[in-house]
Amino acid sequence: MRPDSFQQEQQGLLQLVLGAPGGAAPPRWLSAGDAAQAGCLQRGLQAYRANGQALAERALAAAYPVLVQLVGEENFASLARHFWARHPPVCGDMACWGDLLGAFVGASAQLADEPCLADVAHLEWRMHLASSAADVSPDAATFARLATEDPARITLTLGAGVAWLASPYPVASIVNAHLTGSPSLQQAGQWLAEGRAEHVLVWRQGLRPRVRVSTAIEHRLLEMLMAGRSLLDALDNAHLPGDSGAVPFDFNAWLGEAVQTGLVMGVHSLPTTEGNT
Min mean pLDDT across 71-85, 99-113, 184-198, 234-248 is at 234-248
| Per-residue model confidence (pLDDT) at position 188 | 97
Task: Calculate the dihedral angle through the C-alpha atoms of 108, 111, 117, 122, rounding to the nearest 10 degrees.
Answer: -10
Cβ burial, residue 145 (10 Å; 0-12/13-18/19+): middle
Query: How many whole angstroms separate alpha carbon 18 and alpha carbon 262?
Result: 42
| Per-residue model confidence (pLDDT) at position 23 | 45
Please say whether the dihedral angle defined by the alpha carbons of residues 181, 186, 187 and 193, taken in this order, is positive or negative.
positive
| Per-residue model confidence (pLDDT) at position 277 | 45
User: Over pLDDT 70: what percentage of the chain?
Assistant: 75
Query: How many whole angstroms separate alpha carbon 141 and alpha carbon 31?
Result: 69
pTM, 2 dp: 0.80
Q: Which of 212, 208, 213, 231 is nearest to 158 (CA)?
A: 231
Query: Do 59 and 77 form a contact (C-beta atoms < 8 A)?
Result: no
Domains in the chain and their CATH numbers? 46-88+99-114 (no CATH), 136-270 (3.90.930)
**3-state secondary structure labels for all residues of 141-173:** HHHHHHHHCCCCCEEEEECCCCEEEEECCCHHH
* pLDDT exceeds 80 at position 106: yes
What type of residue sits at position 253?
A
Query: Do 139 and 266 form a contact (C-beta atoms < 8 A)?
Result: yes
| Per-residue model confidence (pLDDT) at position 96 | 82
CA angle (47, 50, 51) in 5-degree steps? 85
| Per-residue model confidence (pLDDT) at position 262 | 96
* pLDDT exceeds 80 at position 52: no
Query: Do 87 and 99 form a contact (C-beta atoms < 8 A)?
Result: no
pLDDT tens sequence across 3-15: 555 555 545 444 5
pLDDT tens sequence across 194-241: 999 999 999 999 999 999 999 999 999 999 999 999 999 999 998 765
Q: Which residue has the higher pLDDT, 55 or 37?
A: 55
Provide Rg for the chain, Cα atoms.
Answer: 24
